[in-house]
Amino acid sequence: MSHDEARKIRLIMSLRRGGITDSKVLGALERVPRELFVDPAFLDQAWEDRALPIAQGQTISQPFIVAFMTQALELTDRTKVLEIGTGSGYQAAVLAKVARRVYTIERHKELMTTAEERFARMKLHNIHTRIGDGWRGWPEQAPFQAIIVTAAAPHVPEALLEQLGEGGRLVIPIGRSSDLQKLVRYRRTKDGIVEEPLLDVRFVPLVPGDVKASATR
């Protein structure tokens, strides 16, 4: 067994002890090569349970947070997911191993280009990408059964709630502080939106803004 394989097994066991019980989620994290998504300078830390810096001042999330948020979405192989904040592409790759189709939006073209190369290398053909403003979501593809936001907003974007189908789940960090936010799950029921706080987290901010161009694949 290689050193990376041993570290991967330890990580998966740690996630299970930490409350990640969905076997599909654990299997996805085991199959997605995190070393493909980290900066080469941090390759030796790829299978450690910690967030790591990537380009454009962003981060690749801690594996526990990726697993926790994915589990909170309650995905099946029929779920259509919207991700706000592609970043390295790691979270989208994990989602693609569990859900039917993933739509992911990123503001930074450089990050998206690199992420798309990784998706192609992994043959993840169920991921569709767009350069754009995450606050606006992807209305042309709505409704979504699940929406995940990998950056913190001071309040939940109304456009994302509007794009959530009945019974759908939206998981997003909420808070103005850069030090601490609250991960919240919003669920659309026939009677309206139900809000459920989950745990304290730290994410980079969800920055609004128009885009110069968009592309899908």
Q: Are 161 and 147 a contacting pair, CB within 8 Å?
A: no
Q: Is residue 183 part of a domain?
A: yes
In this predicted structure, the answer to whether residue 147 has a pLDDT above a threshold of 90 is yes
Q: Are strands 192-201 and 127-131 parallel, antiparallel or unpaired?
A: unpaired
118 in helix, strand or coil?
helix
Q: Is residue 212 part of a domain?
A: no
Instruction: List pLDDT tens digits, range 4-25.
Output: 788 999 999 999 999 999 999 9
pLDDT at position 1 is 60
Q: Is residue 210 part of a domain?
A: no
Q: Is 23 a catalytic residue?
A: no
CATH (domain of 83): 3.40.50.150
Q: Is residue 119 part of a domain?
A: yes
The residues, any chain, with a CB within 8 Å of residue 176's CB and separated by 6 or more, are: 154
Q: Is residue 51 part of a domain?
A: yes
Q: Is residue 112 part of a domain?
A: yes
Q: What are phi and psi of 178, to 5 degrees?
A: -80, -10
Q: Are 86 and 92 a contacting pair, CB within 8 Å?
A: yes
Instruction: List pLDDT tens digits, range 22-76.
Output: 999 999 999 999 999 999 999 999 999 999 999 888 889 999 999 999 999 999 9
- Of 61, 88, 177, 178, which one is the catalytic site residue? 61
Lowest mean pLDDT among 99-103, 125-129, 202-206: 202-206
Count of structural domains, the chain: 1
Domain ranges, residue 122: 3-201
